[in-house]
A and B are shown apart, each in its own frame.
Chain A
Amino acid sequence: MKILRRFRNIFRYEKLDAEMAEEMRLHVELQAERNVNAGMNQTEAHYAALRQFGNAGVIQEQARDVRGWRWADDFLQDLRHGVRLLLKNAGFTLAAVTILALGIGANTAVFNLVHTLLFAPPTYARPGEVVRLQSQDSRDPKKIRDFSYLAYRDIRATNDFLSDTLATALLVAGLGEKGDTRRIASAAVSANYFAVLGVQPAQGRAFRPEEETPGQASPVVIVSHAFWKKHQLDAAMLGSTLLINSRPYTVIGIMPEGFTGTTNLFFTELWFPLGVYDLVVGAGGKDSGHQLSDPDSADLMVIGRLKPGLTVATAEPALQALGASLARVYPAQQKDQRLTMAPPSRFASHSNDIAVAWVGFLLLGMAGIVLLVACLNLANMLLARGAARQKEIALRLALGGGRSRIVRQLLTEGLLLALLGGAGGLLLAFWSSDLLSASLGRMIPVDLVWSGRPSPAVLAAAFGFCLASVPVFGLGPALRLSRGDLMTLLKEQSAVIVRRRWRFLPRNPLVAVQIALSLALLTTAALFIRSAASASAAETGLKADRVFLIELDADLGGLAPVQARQLYSRLGARLAGLPGVESASVATDVPLSGQDPEKRVQRAGEGESATSAKWNGVGEDYFSAAGLTLQRGRTFSATEANEAGSNPVVIVNDRLARQLWPDGEPLGRLVQLADDPAVSYEVIGVVPATRHTLFESQPDPGFYLPLARGFQGHVYYHVKVRPELAADETATADLLRRAVHEVDPTLPILSLKSFAVHLDSNIQIWIVRSGAEIFSAFGGLALCLAIAGVYGVVACSVTQRTREIGIRMALGAPAGGVQRMIVGEGMVTLASGVAAGFLMALGIGKMVGSLLYRVGAFDPVALTLAPALLALATFLACWLPARRAAKVDPVIALRAE
């Protein structure tokens, strides 16, 4: 209460002060009247009254103290003084604010990202109780999978540790009219999904139990608030019909604002009942796909809510009991499987939260270093400027100003600077966040819940960075400046001739620390740049420099597989016949697409030889179009590629061939797919292996099926064009798009790009590249700040030491010697900074090692170049002022004082 009243008083300050003066004036008047009544004359009475009242000024001062205004009074005074000083030194203010804005901006941007990724709470109720169950291969713990619908039903019915259990599968659905399909993140969910998550539709209803049954194709959909917003919050949304994968679905519900389903970064925009899963996925008519009701499928994420009082640890025995009973019901599927339970991933179905968290904290740490360097730099600037203010401060101390008051005033000035810097930093942060999210948006076809818009948490963080930076850059200088060595300072700054005993210690430790921190960042940046360079040069194994990729999905167009196969065959012929096209072929996969499906494959009749391999269903001209040279044997014939009933044949890559027949001839051998051992495929050719993920050191084993045998609706046409077409990407893309639409105007084109662009948009390459960009930005920032710091300090010291230099030269020191002395002192600072920074860089290098691509943490190139760059820049920053020092004319220097 009292605090509140005092706080309010600050704002009523002027009014209360006027009232107090008025009250006291009245008092004096009344006393004077009394005095007149007692027989004094007017003037006498007035003065007597004043005497009786006492010293009004002192009393008012006391009264203000009582009301707690002293603090506010001082603060306002400091603020006014600070604003005047900052305006007077506009150049200094601008420099300081810019430095702080860079530091605070970098931190706010990174915080914005990390906050969204790691700290923003999930959008469902009581996230602490929610766990995800998975099934782990006990022979190969890296293999973790989800469950079939049947297994989910059993888990839900028989477990005794979850209060309820939901099932969901994340999907991508094609929304919209035929030619213009938008891919949209969606989820097929069990009927109790919303109830288990504790969030009900804001409008309309949730799904009914009967809508969950596999094959029960009730065409209903629930949309997110964000989806609704994209349609201008249309009041008619509820009950309207959406065209999804070319089928009509009725909107029966709209979720409340902010609900994003079970993931945080990726918006789920549409929810379907599990009953339409097969329709949405398009698996309903697949030759070799899994329907939802298939016990062999493992497409459903199973998420449950722990019963009150249970934790992941205490529920473990119950979980293993559940696993044992599942294994009895599904002996084939659950053989050698062990159930695991953990809080669900915040990002997507299969990602490593710990790795993401780790990157987040790494980024925060890096940004923190930048802010630290910025603060140290500013501290230096304040000290240098303080030298000019020392006389002012000494005078105030001499007149009785308290030291704490002076420190407080200097800190208030610092706070002003920090707030201005923070405002600049926020602008910078929003701008860079937008850049980052736009660059991520190019990579991922679905919407991201992430923007540079101010959220309360981010604003609070920016303000926190401001407040935290004030003591770091302001306290040291304030304490040092207010120490005031009165007499020496009040006399002209006569004898600032420096006595130094420890010549090998850096003259300015702040600068040395800055250099060390910058070197650490620069080295990290260099590691990432090296890594990005080698990632860009990564070989996929395809010679695809003149290849365009057209990504199509007949499932999203609502075509049945038979029609789709015919369509693809016609389209292949049309594309191959275009002028300027050398060859064209369809394939279900392209290296580094991020999907890269696998199948288990075995020598015919030898189940124990089964091994996982990448597979690709391709057309007859695939190997020439994709630039993959056949090592031996032959490629598919047109009949084999297009007719499902033709001879079963397969082409394997050399890795798989070596794995299956370590010392034998693969051609003519028979292989089977583990999930369909009825068909034996004859190996007719061997091709070189291709690389599907950047971080694997070896290309993957893989095999190629004719498209007719390994069909899926989602395909990539590989179109190899002549050089003249390859040069004009836009025109060629138009040509290809027109050709696709001529064959079927309703077929959705998901993407159309050159192979080079495809590689560029690979998420792993993106990570390495963004790492290089972000760390280069941080490193560059830190380098600039450190260099500015070195230059400022050396230049300032040269100015202060003009007299000393003058004496040295008058006594016969050669100009070169003076220059060497100044540069030498700078180099001592540099050397100590580099030594410390080098150690830090080694440490950071070790920490980021796992994120680097084909570059060791102790990469000699990075560890040489970064210090060399830093040393060169520091040398220049010392040399320029040193040259000025060498030009000091001793006569002028000595006369100057």
Chain B
Amino acid sequence: MTHHKADLLQGTLDLLILKSLQNEPMHGFGIAVRIGQMSKDMLTVEQGSLYPALYRLEDQGWIKAEWGISDNNRKAKFYTLTAAGRKQLTTEEQSWAKLSTAINLVLGNA
């Protein structure tokens, strides 16, 4: 796990996935790439561990999956944020904001 530039906190992977799906449906690989881009490669996930998380979110009803055709003409499974998922994203963003403010306060950085 040495290639991890920053370890993910428990539960934050879900937030990252939901966030990356905010604008458009994406397939699994796309999500991994997007998370890298968004964090300027500060955060990389072990790519495989995306999938159990995706299925868990699907099971919760926050995202839904459909087969479609990718940019380079391959059959791929695309994940879309559902209405419930959008709500969840807002909730998680808020609680993350609270948490990070609180931690920053504790660390004296604010």
Measured CB to CB, the residues of A under 8 A from B are 1-2, 5-6, 19-20, 23-24, 26-27, 29-31, 33-34, 52-56, 59-60, 62-63, 65-68
Q: How far does the alpha carbon of A5 sit from the alpha carbon of B27 in the complex, in Å?
A: 22
The answer to the question of B51 belonging to the interface, with a C-beta cut-off of 8 Å to chain A, is yes
Q: How far does the alpha carbon of A63 sit from the alpha carbon of B77 in the complex, in Å?
A: 15
| Cβ contacts under 8 Å, B59 to chain A | 2, 5-6, 66-68
Q: Identify the closest chain A residue to B54 (Cβ).
A: A63
Given contacts A2-B59, A19-B77, A26-B76, contact A54 B48 (CB under 8 A): yes
Given contacts A53-B48, A54-B46, contact A27 B56 (CB under 8 A): no
Binary interface encoding of chain B residues 51-62 relative to chain A, with 1 for a CB under 8 A from any of its CBs, else 0: 110011001010
Decide if A59 touches B51 in the complex (CB within 8 Å). Answer: yes
Q: How far does the alpha carbon of A30 sit from the alpha carbon of B74 in the complex, in Å?
A: 10
Decide if A54 touches B52 in the complex (CB within 8 Å). Answer: no
| Cβ contacts under 8 Å, A29 to chain B | 74
The answer to the question of B47 belonging to the interface, with a C-beta cut-off of 8 Å to chain A, is yes
The answer to the question of B29 belonging to the interface, with a C-beta cut-off of 8 Å to chain A, is yes
The answer to the question of B25 belonging to the interface, with a C-beta cut-off of 8 Å to chain A, is no
Q: Can you name 7 A-B residue pairings with CB atoms under 8 Å?
A: A2-B59, A23-B28, A23-B76, A29-B74, A66-B52, A66-B55, A67-B55
Decide if B77 touches A54 in the complex (CB within 8 Å). Answer: no
Decide if B51 touches A23 in the complex (CB within 8 Å). Answer: yes
| Cβ contacts under 8 Å, B75 to chain A | 26
The answer to the question of B73 belonging to the interface, with a C-beta cut-off of 8 Å to chain A, is no
Given contacts A2-B59, A66-B56, contact A23 B48 (CB under 8 A): no
Q: How far does the alpha carbon of A34 sit from the alpha carbon of B47 in the complex, in Å?
A: 14
Interface size on B, residues (CB 8 A): 21
Q: How far does the alpha carbon of A650 sit from the alpha carbon of B70 in the complex, in Å?
A: 110
B15, chain A: closest CB distance, angstroms: 17
Given contacts A19-B77, A54-B46, contact A26 B51 (CB under 8 A): no
| Cβ contacts under 8 Å, A54 to chain B | 46-49
| Cβ contacts under 8 Å, B70 to chain A | 30
Decide if B29 touches A30 in the complex (CB within 8 Å). Answer: yes
| Cβ contacts under 8 Å, B74 to chain A | 26, 29-30
Decide if B47 touches A26 in the complex (CB within 8 Å). Answer: no
B71, chain A: closest CB distance, angstroms: 10
Q: Identify the closest chain B residue to A58 (Cβ).
A: B48
Q: How far does the alpha carbon of A419 sit from the alpha carbon of B77 in the complex, in Å?
A: 41
Q: Identify the closest chain A residue to B28 (Cβ).
A: A27
Binary interface encoding of chain B residues 16-42 relative to chain A, with 1 for a CB under 8 A from any of its CBs, else 0: 000000000001110011000000000
| Cβ contacts under 8 Å, B77 to chain A | 19, 23
Q: Identify the closest chain A residue to B45 (Cβ).
A: A54
Q: How far does the alpha carbon of A55 sit from the alpha carbon of B52 in the complex, in Å?
A: 13
B48 in complex: contacting residue of A6, A19, A24, A26, CB < 8 Å: A24
| Cβ contacts under 8 Å, A20 to chain B | 51, 55
Q: How far does the alpha carbon of A24 sit from the alpha carbon of B61 in the complex, in Å?
A: 21
| Cβ contacts under 8 Å, B47 to chain A | 27, 31, 52-54
Decide if A56 touches B48 in the complex (CB within 8 Å). Answer: yes
Q: How far does the alpha carbon of A33 sit from the alpha carbon of B73 in the complex, in Å?
A: 14
Closest 6 CB pairs of A and B: A54-B48, A59-B48, A62-B52, A30-B29, A66-B55, A53-B48
| Cβ contacts under 8 Å, B33 to chain A | 34
Q: How far does the alpha carbon of A33 sit from the alpha carbon of B74 in the complex, in Å?
A: 13
A24 in complex: contacting residue of B51, B56, B72, CB < 8 Å: B51
A585, chain B: closest CB distance, angstroms: 88
Decide if B49 touches A59 in the complex (CB within 8 Å). Answer: yes
| Cβ contacts under 8 Å, B72 to chain A | 33
B29 in complex: contacting residue of A1, A27, A55, A65, CB < 8 Å: A27
| Cβ contacts under 8 Å, A23 to chain B | 27-28, 51, 76-77
Q: How far does the alpha carbon of A62 sit from the alpha carbon of B54 in the complex, in Å?
A: 11
Given contacts A26-B74, A31-B47, contact A63 B52 (CB under 8 A): yes
| Cβ contacts under 8 Å, B51 to chain A | 20, 23-24, 59-60, 63
| Most chain B beta-carbon neighbours within 10 Å: one of A5, A31, A34, A59 | A59
B48, chain A: closest CB distance, angstroms: 3
A423, chain B: closest CB distance, angstroms: 36
| Most chain A beta-carbon neighbours within 10 Å: one of B48, B52, B55, B74 | B48
| Cβ contacts under 8 Å, B52 to chain A | 59, 62-63, 65-66
Decide if A55 touches B48 in the complex (CB within 8 Å). Answer: yes
Q: Identify the closest chain A residue to B44 (Cβ).
A: A52
A54, chain B: closest CB distance, angstroms: 3
| Cβ contacts under 8 Å, B29 to chain A | 26-27, 30-31
Q: Identify the closest chain B residue to A31 (Cβ).
A: B29
Q: How far does the alpha carbon of A615 sit from the alpha carbon of B49 in the complex, in Å?
A: 95
Q: How far does the alpha carbon of A67 sit from the alpha carbon of B47 in the complex, in Å?
A: 19
B51, chain A: closest CB distance, angstroms: 5
| Cβ contacts under 8 Å, A5 to chain B | 59
| Cβ contacts under 8 Å, B49 to chain A | 54, 59, 62
Q: Identify the closest chain B residue to A5 (Cβ).
A: B59
Q: How far does the alpha carbon of A23 sit from the alpha carbon of B48 in the complex, in Å?
A: 11
| Cβ contacts under 8 Å, A59 to chain B | 48-49, 51-52
B110, chain A: closest CB distance, angstroms: 36
Q: How far does the alpha carbon of A44 sit from the alpha carbon of B61 in the complex, in Å?
A: 38
Binary interface encoding of chain B residues 81-109 relative to chain A, with 1 for a CB under 8 A from any of its CBs, else 0: 00000000000000000000000000000
Q: How far does the alpha carbon of A53 sit from the alpha carbon of B28 in the complex, in Å?
A: 11
| Cβ contacts under 8 Å, A26 to chain B | 27-29, 74-76
| Cβ contacts under 8 Å, A65 to chain B | 52
Q: Identify the closest chain B residue to A24 (Cβ).
A: B51
| Most chain B beta-carbon neighbours within 10 Å: one of A30, A54, A65, A68 | A30
| Cβ contacts under 8 Å, A27 to chain B | 27-29, 32, 47
| Cβ contacts under 8 Å, B56 to chain A | 66
Decide if B27 touches A63 in the complex (CB within 8 Å). Answer: no
Q: How far does the alpha carbon of A27 sit from the alpha carbon of B77 in the complex, in Å?
A: 10
Beyond A19-B77, A66-B55, list 12 extra A-B contacts (CB 8 Å). A6-B59, A23-B28, A23-B77, A24-B48, A31-B29, A33-B72, A53-B47, A54-B46, A56-B48, A59-B48, A59-B51, A66-B59
| Cβ contacts under 8 Å, A60 to chain B | 51
| Cβ contacts under 8 Å, A66 to chain B | 52, 55-56, 59
Q: How far does the alpha carbon of A67 sit from the alpha carbon of B52 in the complex, in Å?
A: 9
B81, chain A: closest CB distance, angstroms: 18
| Most chain A beta-carbon neighbours within 10 Å: one of B52, B70, B75 | B52
A15, chain B: closest CB distance, angstroms: 12
Q: How far does the alpha carbon of A509 sit from the alpha carbon of B74 in the complex, in Å?
A: 68
Q: How far does the alpha carbon of A27 sit from the alpha carbon of B78 in the complex, in Å?
A: 12
Decide if A63 touches B76 in the complex (CB within 8 Å). Answer: no
Decide if A63 touches B55 in the complex (CB within 8 Å). Answer: yes
Q: Identify the closest chain A residue to B51 (Cβ).
A: A63
B53, chain A: closest CB distance, angstroms: 8
Q: How far does the alpha carbon of A65 sit from the alpha carbon of B74 in the complex, in Å?
A: 28
B80, chain A: closest CB distance, angstroms: 15
